[in-house]
Amino acid sequence: MKCECESCSLLRGALLARLPEEQVARLSCVFQMGRYPRNQALYREGAATQQIFALRSGLVKLVKSLENSRERIVRVVFPGELFGLEALAEDTYALSAVTLHESEICGATPEELFGFLRQDPEIALGMVRFLVGEVGRIRTQVTEMSFKDARMKLATFLLAVTSAEKEQGAGPASTTLAFSRGEISSLLELSPETISRTFSALRRARLIEARGRRLTIRDRAGLEKVAQR
């Protein structure tokens, strides 16, 4: 069986850059790739931790349970990112993970991963560096978003979502959003009214077209300028 890890940019950068091909092939016995349909729960908040995951393609939402059976999206996982890291140190998952699209996801138990890392100190060090980088990346992302205005936040979000869609083979400019306006407002910590006004402003600027959940990026370069302004 061909090793799926050979073409995984996340694992290649984190662990495999210095490995000979025979060691890369052995890693396929650790990280097993699965294909999951939309709305598939990978794990639930409070469930016993079993695996850590790497998103190869698709989108995954991490959600926190609230009162009255409501949920809040805490984070969207994009291709090339790890999630379920609680499994490395905790007994239960802090959040639930649910696919937003058909997704390819690689998983490994902590025992399997630790066993592989023990084979070579350089591999283990590479993983430590990668995980530290992930923490720093998420911290920077949170910090940047806290200083952005509504237009910048929404533009950044729409660019990230459409980039993920392009990775999984969707058209380069159009997508059907997996989020309601309410979910977007919760995720970006903006009121629904602000989200509606901001969508309208981006439409008037001829940067996007949006009807219901159908989104078309008309001017990606212009939207990128808004996100970084």
Q: How far apart are CA 5 and CA 24, in angstroms?
A: 7
Q: Do 138 and 152 share a structural domain?
A: no
Q: Do 95 and 77 share a structural domain?
A: yes
pLDDT for 196 beyond 90 = yes
Q: How far apart are CA 196 and CA 184, in angstroms?
A: 10
Q: Do 101 and 163 share a structural domain?
A: no
128-174: per-residue pLDDT in tens?
777 787 777 777 777 766 788 999 999 998 998 887 655 444 444 67
Q: Are 74 and 64 in contact (CB under 8 A)?
A: yes
Quote the distance between the C-alpha of residue 136 and its chain's center.
15
pLDDT at 167: 44
- Sheet containing 96-99: which strands, arranged edge to edge? 41-43, 96-99, 60-65, 71-77
Residue that wins the pLDDT comparison between 109 and 125: 109
78-116: per-residue pLDDT in tens?
887 889 989 988 999 999 999 998 999 989 999 988 887
Q: Please give the model's pTM, rounded to 2 decimal places.
A: 0.74
What CATH code is carried by the domain that includes residue 24?
2.60.120.10
Q: Do 118 and 152 share a structural domain?
A: no
Where in the sequence is the domain holding 54, given as residue range(s)? Answer: 4-143
3-24: per-residue pLDDT in tens?
566 566 555 555 555 566 666 6
Q: Do 187 and 212 share a structural domain?
A: yes
Angle, CA 78 vertex, CA 75 and CA 79 arms, to 5°: 155
Last residue of a domain, one of 108, 143, 178: 143
pLDDT at 10: 59
Residue that wins the pLDDT comparison between 151 and 2: 151
Last residue of a domain, one of 143, 171, 197: 143
Q: Do 121 and 42 share a structural domain?
A: yes
Last residue of a domain, one of 89, 110, 143: 143
pLDDT at 182: 86
Q: Do 134 and 110 share a structural domain?
A: yes
H/E element holding 26? Answer: helix 21-27
Q: Do 191 and 127 share a structural domain?
A: no
Angle, CA 216 vertex, CA 210 and CA 220 arms, to 5°: 120
Q: Specify the number of domains making up the chain.
A: 2
pLDDT at 168: 44
Q: Do 157 and 136 share a structural domain?
A: no
208-228: per-residue pLDDT in tens?
998 888 899 999 999 999 998
Q: Are 41 and 96 in contact (CB under 8 A)?
A: yes
pLDDT at 169: 43
Q: How far apart are CA 110 and CA 89, in angstroms?
A: 9
28-55: per-residue pLDDT in tens?
667 788 999 999 999 999 999 999 998 8
Q: Do 97 and 160 share a structural domain?
A: no
Q: Are 142 and 136 in contact (CB under 8 A)?
A: no
Q: What is the DSSP secondary structure assignment for residue 92, as one 8-state letter?
A: B
